[in-house]
Amino acid sequence: MNPEPSPSFDCLRCGACCRWPGHVLLAGDDIPRLAAHLGISERDFIGRYAVLASNRRQLSLAEQPDGACVFLENNACRVYPDRPAQCRAFPLGWSVPGCPACPPAG
């Protein structure tokens, strides 16, 4: 996925993408960057904010009881400057049926 935002995508700050079903997979330097942003150790970050993804090969962000991302507060991302690469790339490279921000598959 390309980490640059789509030139034709304007975030409405509605929080819908942070409530979309599925995983926010953690990769690369996501964990060290997020842990540093929160001022905690990587081990504490994993214990508090990560779960094993259904692919059982990597970690993903935990969810709130309603399914929203653990970092969504009042329709805003509380770790936005250091959000995971998957979130930075949204909606580029995404093809999710029903997602209004995702480009059509093709």
Number of domains present in the structure of the chain: 1
**What confidence score (pLDDT) does residue 31 get?**
97
| 8's tokens | 């034709």
48-98 pLDDT, tens digit per residue, is: 999 999 889 899 999 999 999 999 999 899 999 999 998 888 777 665 566
CA–CA separation, 12 vs 2, rounded Å?
Answer: 20
The pTM score is 0.78
Residue 10 lies in a domain: no
Q: Band of the pLDDT at 28, cuts 50, 70, 90? A: confident
d(CA 52, CA 46): 10
Query: Bigger pLDDT: 28 or 71?
Result: 71
Residues in the chain: 106
pLDDT for residue 42 is more than 50? yes
Domain of 62, in residue numbers: 16-89
